[in-house]
Amino acid sequence: GAVVSQHPSWVICKSGTSVKIECRSLDFQATTMFWYRQFPKQSLMLMATSNEGSKATYEQGVEKDKFLINHASLTLSTLTVTSAHPEDSSFYICSARDAKGAAQPQHFGDGTRLSIL
Partner 1 sequence: AQTVTQSQPEMSVQEAETVTLSCTYDTSESDYYLFWYKQPPSRQMILVIRQEAYKQQNATENRFSVNFQKAAKSFSLKISDSQLGDAAMYFCAYRSNGDDKIIFGKGTRLHILP
Residue 112 and residue 51 in contact, taking contact as beta carbons nearer than 8 Å? no
Q: Is 75 in the site for partner 1 (CB under 8 A)?
A: no
Q: How far apart (Å, rounded) are the C-alpha atoms in residues 49 and 116?
A: 24
User: Alpha helices of 44-100 — where are they, by DSSP H?
Assistant: none
Based on the shown chain and the rule CB under 8 A, indicate whether residue 67 belongs to the binding site for partner 1: no
If the CB atoms of residues 20 and 113 are measured against partner 1, the closer one turns out to be 113
E strands of the chain, at which residues?
A: 4-7, 10-13, 19-25, 32-38, 44-51, 57-58, 67-73, 76-81, 90-97, 106-108, 112-116
Q: Of 67, 108, 114, 116, which lies in the binding site for partner 1, with binding defined by CB under 8 A? A: 108
Q: Is 107 in contact with 95 (CB distance < 8 Å)?
A: yes
Choice from 22, 28, 58, 91 touching partner 1 (CB under 8 A): 91
Least distance (Å) between residue 39 CB and partner 1 = 12
* Contact between 29 and partner 1 per CB under 8 A: no
Q: According to the binding rule CB under 8 A, does residue 43 interact with partner 1?
A: yes
Query: Residues in the site for partner 1, rule: CB under 8 A?
Result: 32, 34, 38, 41-44, 46, 49, 91, 93, 95, 97, 102-103, 105-106, 108, 110-111, 113
